Each structure stands twice: as C-alpha cells, then as structure tokens.
Amino acid sequence: DLEDIVRHEVRAILRADPTLSVADCTAKCDAEFAMTYDRDETLFDRMCARECA
C-alpha cells in the first residue's frame, strides 16, 4: 500500500542522512513521488510530512 511505500522511502532518506530536518526530509520524500504520482500530490505531501515527523 502507498503508506508502506512512503514509510520505506522515508527510512531510506533518513538512513542516508540522519541529520535532515523534518522539512528537508518531507521535501526529499515529496520529490521522490512527484513525478510518478503527480495526480496525488496532496496525499503524498501529507504522508511524507507524517512519516518524516
């Protein structure tokens, strides 16, 4: 499911740079999904923000 995909991506982002701020984590996460899932932008914004918090 999409939440699992986002969770996995956020873990990878934070593993690569554990010092990222929540805002930077959210931006990186959102960028990962922006091209693939552009019609669900708001949904991914919320999921990325929640997982990065």
Task: Record the pTM.
Answer: 0.87
> Is residue 26 pLDDT above 80, yes or no?
yes
What letter represents residue 46's amino acid? R
Could you list the residue range(s) of the whole structural domain that residue 23 is in? 2-52
Instruction: State the pLDDT at residue 36.
Output: 79
Instruction: State the pLDDT at residue 41.
Output: 78
What letter represents residue 34's amino acid? A
Question: In the chain, how many domains are there?
Answer: 1
> Is residue 7 pLDDT above 90, yes or no?
yes
Instruction: State the pLDDT at residue 40.
Output: 75
Instruction: State the pLDDT at residue 28.
Output: 96
**Please, which pLDDT band fits residue 19 given cuts at 50, 70 and 90?**
very high
User: How far are the Cα atoms of 7, 28, 38 from residue 18, in angstroms, in the given order?
Assistant: 15, 13, 27
User: Is residue 7 classed exposed, middle or buried when 0-12, 13-18 and 19+ CB atoms within 10 A define those classes?
Assistant: middle
What does the alpha-carbon distance between residue 36 and residue 22 come to, in Å, rounded to a whole number? 22
